[in-house]
A and B are shown apart, each in its own frame.
Chain A
Amino acid sequence: MRKEVPLIITFLAGFFFIADYFIPHTGFSNIAADVNGWAIIVLAFSYILGVGNVLRINAQRIAKKEKDWVLKVILVLCLFFMLGIGIFGGIAEGSIFDWFFVNTYTPMQATMFALLAFFIASAAFRAFRVRTTQAALLAITAVLVMIGRVPIGETIWKSFPDFTEWIMGVPQLAGKRAILIGAALGAISTGLKVITGLERTYMGQD
């Protein structure tokens, strides 16, 4: 039963959502919306497991005084602090929770995002170390598109931006479509294997 019941549930859930696309019956659609709601609630409960995982692992490191254990204390304290002010004080705009979100979380998030500019420069340097024809093609296309999207492109050649648009709209699109169609077949195949129980790694075994 430990193996059979989950497989049956996987099968039923999978075919239910496939059927939902083809069955326009209002009652069925309402049921599908409710079933979708169950999935959202299940995912929400899993956050408790996730935070439990964080606390368990960090508590062990703190107890054993492993390297950088003080930082783990800071991590756990911040976690409890946000939980406390969020659950007891609410998350509405203007609350302490919201203040911490705006003044600590958001700037750090934005800064991490901004780091990408530096990393993309390093990635570009790596990309332009051309060793093969394929790498050369990638590098040349990247340079052409970059130049076409800045004012200097138009200065060099009046039709440079149009040429960039053509690259994006024709050869780039051709490769993209091939990847998308391939990925669609791969996803359908994986989905079918999961629903029919051919793939059950995610379930583990006794």
Chain B
Amino acid sequence: MGIISFLYKDNPWYKFCEALFVGISAGYWLCTVFWSQLVAKLWDNVFATTAGQPRQYVYLVGGILGLMMLLRLVPKIGWFSRWPLAFVVGGTAGAYIVGYALSNGMKQVKSTILPLWVSGNLYATVGNIILVVGTFCGLVYFFFSKEHKGTYGRIAKLGIFFLMITFGASFGYTVMARMSLLIGRMDFLFGTWLGLIK
């Protein structure tokens, strides 16, 4: 109820609930990370292995890098924290280069290469033409090296129209999903809690 009161305006009850939520969640996540990663991945693998299981000293490196992160709290040697920072950022960059190239790049290009004429199937033919033309126009819109003028500008404008259709469809699709969440909460409040709905 306190959270829902936010819809009216900011008020002390919402502020209290917000403080409660933020405090509990911050504590919750630190505990979860402590047990599931620091203890399970680092401590258990290096120091407290079960009988017959070899110690995996390799995780000590992660521990050392993690401790270097904490050196940030000491101003004079805080610059050491840039090493684990660089490691994570560099690794992210490398992993995402490949990930995006595959799922967003090559797979999408392959899916866009479609025959513009499907014999005996007008529905598929029209669909393929719209898909290819729409993707082409959308890519033209994202071209930064040329001003959107003349014929080129008109193609880019058609691209924006396709993008607006994408956003409108996505918006409409999501509305129903959100409504179902609200129905769930109202059911709890008026049904389970107040017993007004049976």
Partner of B96, one of A43, A75, A133, A191: A191
Is the pair A140, B31 in contact by a Cβ cutoff of 8 Å?
no
Chain B's nearest CB lies how many Å from the CB of A70?
9
Query: A36-55 CB contact bits vs B (8 Å, 1 = yes)?
Result: 11111111111111111010
Query: B1-39 CB contact bits vs A (8 Å, 1 = yes)?
Result: 001101100000001111111111111111111110110
A interface majority secondary structure? helix
Partner of A6, one of B69, B82, B91: B82
Contacts of A145 in B (CB 8 A): 168-169, 171-173
Given contacts A108-B3, A145-B169, A184-B108, contact A171 B93 (CB under 8 A): no
Is the pair B160, A182 in contact by a Cβ cutoff of 8 Å?
no
Chain A's nearest CB lies how many Å from the CB of B81?
9
Is the pair B184, A114 in contact by a Cβ cutoff of 8 Å?
yes
Is the pair A42, B79 in contact by a Cβ cutoff of 8 Å?
no
Q: List 21 A-B contacts (CB under 8 A).
A: A13-B86, A17-B94, A41-B59, A41-B63, A43-B37, A44-B37, A47-B30, A75-B20, A87-B34, A115-B3, A142-B169, A146-B175, A172-B166, A175-B134, A175-B167, A176-B166, A177-B134, A177-B135, A183-B100, A184-B100, A195-B94
Residues of A in contact with B (beta carbons under 8 Å apart)? 2, 5-7, 9-18, 21, 34-52, 54, 68, 71-72, 74-83, 86-87, 90-91, 97, 100-101, 104-105, 107-118, 120, 123-124, 127, 133-135, 137-146, 149-150, 166-185, 187-188, 190-192, 194-195, 202-204, 206
Is the pair A82, B24 in contact by a Cβ cutoff of 8 Å?
yes
Contacts of B197 in A (CB 8 A): none
Is the pair B6, A115 in contact by a Cβ cutoff of 8 Å?
yes
